[in-house]
Amino acid sequence: MNHEHAFVCGNPALDFAATLRARRTARFEMFSTPDRLDAWFIESGLVDSVAPGGGADVERARAVREAIYQLVLDRRHERDYDEVALGLVNAAARRPPATPQLTRAGRRTEATVEQALSMVARLAVELLSGPDVPLLKECGNPECTRVYVDRSRGTRRQWCGMESCGNKFKAAAYRARKRGASAAAGH
C-alpha cells in the first residue's frame, strides 16, 4: 500500500497533530478531503478499515487535531491547558472507540471516523499525562512544526525524521558553508 502520510513522531497522536504541515509558513493541509483523512486512520495502523467520512468528519478531525496540537504546545511550554482545546480532546476521547474483533484471518478493527478520532484523542490523553512528556521536542528544521517523542540515546535527536527534515537541513547547511568558503576565498 502506498502511504500518503508520514509517521515519524513516535506517537500516533503527534503524527495526527502534524497533518497540518509547516504551520509557521506554508501551512500545508494533509486532510484536504475525506479520503485523505480515512487513509490516515488506516495508514496509522489504528484501524484496518474506516467507514467513508464526509466533509463534517474532516472539519471535526481538523478541530480535534488543532486541539491536540495546542495541548501539546501548552504541555511543552509548561502553560495551563487551553480550556477550549481541552474540552474538544476530552469530548472526542469520551466517544466509544473502535473495538478490535477476532476473525479467521486474525485481528481486525473496523471503525467509523468518530470511533477512530476517539482512539487518537485517547492516545493524546495518555501521552500528555504519561512519562513521555519530558521527551517531547519540536523538529529542529524551522520550516517544520512537527513535535516528536525523542527516545534517542541522550535525547539528542534534532529532527522529526532524517528523510523529511534532517537531510534537507544538513544539505542546506552544507551548501551555505560551501558558499561561505568560496566567498571567503574570493576576497
- Half-sphere exposure of residue 58: CA atoms within 13 angstroms, side-chain side: 16
* CB-CB contact of 153 with 32 (8 Å): no
For the chain, list the domains and their CATH numbers.
12-186 (1.10.3300.10)
Residue type, 107: R
Instruction: Tell me whether strands 110-111 and 49-50 are parallel, antiparallel or unpaired.
Output: parallel
Rounded to whole angstroms, how far apart are CA atoms 54 and 110? 17
Bridge partner residues of 107 (DSSP):
102
CA distances from 109 to 39, 44, 182 (A): 14, 12, 58
For residues 13-23, give the mean pLDDT.
94
Residue type, 132: D
Q: What is the pTM of this model?
A: 0.88
**Which tens digits make up the pLDDT trace of 72-122?**
999 999 999 999 999 999 999 999 999 999 999 999 999 999 999 999 999
pLDDT the model gives residue 142: 86
